[in-house]
């Protein structure tokens, strides 16, 4: 059975003290009222070592938002997958549209990052999704197909089975324009069919596919009600413990 998950992506928000506070608040809410799904909090690198000791990661997993495409060496300012793992973090978001757009991360670079994350026992949360022009031209299916083929479909079935996918239509990120539950379901089902064609029905059935893009407590329940939507990757609404918990509670 595939896992239901609500994951937060803080992006470039919260200083160290604010981040520690937010993790403590999320933990307190989850201690008081046990989640019915997996919960993951992905933070900037600088928070990781301070927040992993604060939580039981079987309940609230901690992840990074990126890692380097190189193992180690003279890459000033980069943070390797092995460094992320050494903080105790278990997850790593890769392929977020903001990294693709602003930092020019190509399918080839992301393929390297995925392999390094897996080699260091980090679970990649791999993001795919089309921009507005592609949606208007009805090209969303071919875009996500190329993204999967370009960075993930080189993996063995065993390694692919470790990946969490996140469908994030770029036009829905931070815009308040959520995909309708029907739009999300259509493309999630298509993504699952691509996984089935490549790796077989069992791997596809077990693959967690999250939806991301202006997901909030008021719309999470109807999105998560769709059979191929296995939870959410949450940006803005993950920055307030009560909102994040409101989305977690959509699984109740």
Query: Which of 87, 208, 214, 219 forms a contact with ligand 13P (CB under 6 A)?
Result: 214
Interior CA angle at 98 toward 82 and 145, to 5°? Answer: 90
Length of the chain: 252
Which of the stretches 28-36, 129-137, 192-200, 208-216 binds ligand 13P when contact is defined by CB under 6 A?
208-216
Nearest CA among 129, 197, 198, 163 for reference residue 3? 163
Query: Which of 128, 234, 241, 247 forms a contact with ligand 13P (CB under 6 A)?
Result: 234
Q: Does 125 bind ligand 13P (CB under 6 A)?
A: no
Distances (CA, A) of 235 to 69, 103, 111: 24, 19, 24
Nearest CA among 49, 71, 59 for reference residue 27? 59
Q: Does 235 bind ligand 13P (CB under 6 A)?
A: yes
Tell me whether residue 47 is one of the annotated catalytic residues. no
Tell me whether residue 96 is one of the annotated catalytic residues. yes
Nearest CA among 145, 221, 152 for reference residue 187? 145
| Nearest distance, CB of residue 211 and ligand 13P, angstroms | 9
Q: Please, how many CA atoms are within 13 Å of residue 114, restricted to the half-sphere of its CB? A: 29
| Residue 15 or 175 with smaller CB distance to ligand 13P | 175
| Nearest distance, CB of residue 13 and ligand 13P, angstroms | 10
| Residue 213 or 231 with smaller CB distance to ligand 13P | 213
Q: Does 63 bind ligand 13P (CB under 6 A)?
A: no
Q: Does 236 bind ligand 13P (CB under 6 A)?
A: yes
- Choose the catalytic residue: 47, 96, 105, 188: 96
Q: How many residues bind ligand 13P (CB under 6 A)?
A: 14
- Choose the catalytic residue: 105, 130, 134, 168: 168
Which of the stretches 43-51, 137-145, 222-230, 234-242 binds ligand 13P when contact is defined by CB under 6 A?
234-242
| Residue 126 or 199 with smaller CB distance to ligand 13P | 126
Residues in a beta bridge with 40: 7, 61
Residue least distant from ligand 13P (Cβ)? 235
Query: Which of 94, 117, 163, 233 forms a contact with ligand 13P (CB under 6 A)?
Result: 233
What positions carry a catalytic annotation? 96, 168
């Amino acid at each position: 059975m595939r896992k239901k998950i609500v994951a937060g992506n803080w992006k470039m928000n919260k200083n160290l003290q604010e981040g520690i506070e937010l993790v403590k608040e999320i933990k307190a809410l989850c201690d008081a009222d046990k989640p019915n799904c997996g919960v993951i909090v992905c933070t900037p690198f600088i928070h990781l070592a301070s927040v992993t000791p604060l939580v039981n990661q079987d309940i609230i997993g901690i992840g990074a938002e990126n890692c380097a495409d190189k193992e180690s060496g003279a890459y000033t300012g980069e943070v390797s997958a092995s460094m992320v793992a050494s903080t105790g973090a278990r997850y790593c978001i890769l392929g977020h549209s903001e990294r693709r757009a602003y930092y020019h991360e190509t399918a080839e670079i992301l393929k390297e990052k995925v392999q390094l994350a897996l080699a260091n026992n980090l679970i990649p949360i791999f993001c795919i999704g089309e921009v507005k022009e592609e949606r208007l031209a009805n090209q969303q299916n071919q875009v996500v197909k190329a993204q999967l083929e370009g960075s993930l479909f080189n993996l063995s079935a065993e390694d692919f089975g470790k990946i969490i996918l996140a469908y994030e239509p770029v036009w829905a990120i931070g815009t308040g324009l959520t995909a309708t539950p029907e739009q999300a379901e259509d493309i999630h089902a298509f993504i699952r069919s691509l996984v089935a064609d490549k790796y077989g029905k069992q791997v596809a059935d077990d693959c967690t596919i999250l939806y991301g893009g202006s997901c909030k407590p008021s719309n999470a329940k109807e999105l998560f009600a769709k059979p191929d939507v296995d939870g959410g990757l949450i940006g803005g609404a993950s920055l307030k413990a009560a909102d994040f918990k409101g989305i977690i509670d959509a699984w109740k």
